[in-house]
Chains A and B, each alone.
Chain A
Amino acid sequence: MSTIAEPAPRSQARRRMRVDGWRWGGRIFLVFMLLYTALPMIWMLLTSIKSGFAAMQFPPQWWPDEPTLASYQKLLDPQNSVGQDFLRFFWNSLFVSTATTILSVIVAVPAAYAFSRFTFPGRNFLFFAVLLRNMFPAVIFLVPLFILMRAIGLVNTHGSLVLTYLTFGLPLAIWLLKGFYDNIPIQLEQAARIDGATRFQAFILIVMPLSAPGIIATAIYSFIGAWNEYIYAYTFLSKNDQLTLPVGIQRFFSENTTDFPGLMAASFMMSVPVVVLFLVLQRYFVRALTEGAVKH
């Protein structure tokens, strides 16, 4: 008894010290990561409430001497030409992203369900083809797609973007949703089938409601992906009134690159919708991403 009890206090003390060392290291590291993440965003906000003159000073005003919302007012004022453009870009982005999201869900749901449940010949091949697509960069598809879009008369329309985003969002959407379907017990459908439901009815009445969190997550993904997309919009659209936000902002700030407060205000407002969406629905968002890679 005493021989076992004797060394315990010393080793315990040592262990606690060691654990504390790790914990403190972890805390310091987290503070560092927090600064790395947050400082650029804080600087964006601080710059956006300066006047153009105040932003261009050396050494900089760490805190704006005379905070002003002028940049925001300018961007949101429908009377002003800058405001007109910005609001139109904003609307275009909203339209393209929403349309993409709705279509993605409609197409991805049945496909993901099939990949999760059925064992038809070529299933694995198709599934990996879907995943492989995810690996290829937009640039490879740009030239031929541009020509294709021209052939079917979609250049300079939002339709070209919706069709493209839909395709390139699908692999991820299918992958995410498949993870959710894999986790819904097949017995539930079997029970419904025994009660006389067809396979399609079982899918619509039993599986669809259960997979609502997955559908929400997929929708957020499609939306954020479409909202932030740049390269196709940059290539396919040339008319000023068609541009989406990322391209639009680039166009009108490359004309006067000195308006950094305006640029920062625009960057901030471009980020607001996706950040809000993410913060409100982050539970689904995080879960969906990891469902496919980490199975429970």
Chain B
Amino acid sequence: MLRKIWEHRADYAYVLPAIAVMLIVIAYPIYYTVELSFFNTPPGLQLRDKNFIGIDNYTAILTSEVFWKVTWNTLIWTLGSTFISFVLGFATALALHRDFIGRGVLRAILIIPWVISAVAASYIWKWIYHSDFGIIGAVLVQLGLADRPPNFIDSVSTVLPSLIVVNIWREFPFAMIMMMAGLQTVPDQLLRAAKVDGANAWQRFWHVTFPHLRNVSTVTILLLAVANFNSFIIPWIMTGGGPSNASHIWITHIYELAFGRQRWGVASAYSVLLFLILMSLGYFYVRALSGNERKDGSA
């Protein structure tokens, strides 16, 4: 083993800069977070004054009501955004697969929301949802569907779905790009053969196209799920987690605990829990990716 490492010593030179940067900025913070999660940190940035309290931070989290509320929000947010973004993106990719005039332009327009900053997107939608002058509310009133403009993001019951709509707006283009590329790998001969054999459009999709896209779909869904689980900007800027925690998800909650209330220890314990969840998601991610590679035989 050591001899093998020595033989390949020149190879490491290529990856060394990347690894070095990541060790400093990634490995150390992970270690530090785990350590801090076992300490009580009095408010203020004087972290030297922390005192060891074992697993108290963890028990405090798991027994708090807010934790379950936020976890439930995170679940709805992640699953809802991921599922709908994927379905819309996939359907758009299918509809765009056939060539027609203006296809390139349409595709470019559809991708723009994904390129612009989430901060800009949050402000645009905040204005659209505005409870007095928002355009959606105005349209609803004009059409006689509502007496007065509804409070989309100031009401506990509608805030999370409203934010999910914004998130999907920004995210479905990603699924669309991935699935468009996937569709190009479906062999035409197979589709034509299926057509000759009398398969209708749905049967061709379900029995030929879809099985071919299983790997791409898995990777896309996992990437979306991870991105959604980790999202911060949209809820933070649009609502800051409110009203009454109705739109707090894990990340915004951790941020508020750490930088808002300076409860670093508790926030670190939250981060460690998050870590464990993501690790298990990561296991599937790696499996899906290495499944890709094995099939391909290239790596």
Contact = CB atoms under 8 A, between A and B. Distances in A.
Given A139-B232, A144-B29, A289 B177 contact: yes
B233 A230 contact: yes
A293 B5 CA distance: 30
B128 A43 contact: yes
A43 B120 CA distance: 13
Interface residues of A, number: 99
Contacts of A199: 10
21 contacts: A11-B198, A37-B109, A37-B169, A41-B112, A59-B138, A118-B8, A137-B278, A139-B232, A141-B29, A142-B255, A143-B258, A148-B28, A164-B25, A170-B18, A228-B116, A228-B117, A235-B259, A268-B120, A274-B115, A286-B181, A294-B216
B115 A275 contact: yes
Interface residues of B, number: 104
A179 B141 CA distance: 51
Interface string B2-15: 00110010111111
Contact of A141 (B26, B127, B142, B174): B26
Interface string B198-222: 1011000000000000011001100
Given A130-B22, A137-B230, A228-B118, A110 B17 contact: yes
A33 B112 CA distance: 12
Interface of B: 1, 4-5, 8, 10-15, 17-19, 21-22, 24-26, 28-30, 32-33, 36, 47, 88, 91-92, 94-96, 98, 106, 108-113, 115-120, 123-125, 127-128, 130, 132-133, 135, 138, 141-142, 149, 169, 172-174, 177-178, 180-182, 184-185, 198, 200-201, 215-216, 219-220, 226, 229-230, 232-233, 237, 251, 254-255, 258-259, 264, 267-268, 271, 274-275, 278-279, 281-282, 285-286, 289, 292, 296, 298-299
Question: Which 7 pairs, one residue from A and one from B, show the smallest C-beta to C-beta distance?
Answer: A290-B181, A114-B14, A144-B29, A137-B230, A26-B95, A120-B8, A144-B32
Given A33-B92, A60-B135, A227 B117 contact: yes
A227 B117 CA distance: 8
Contacts of B298: 182, 295
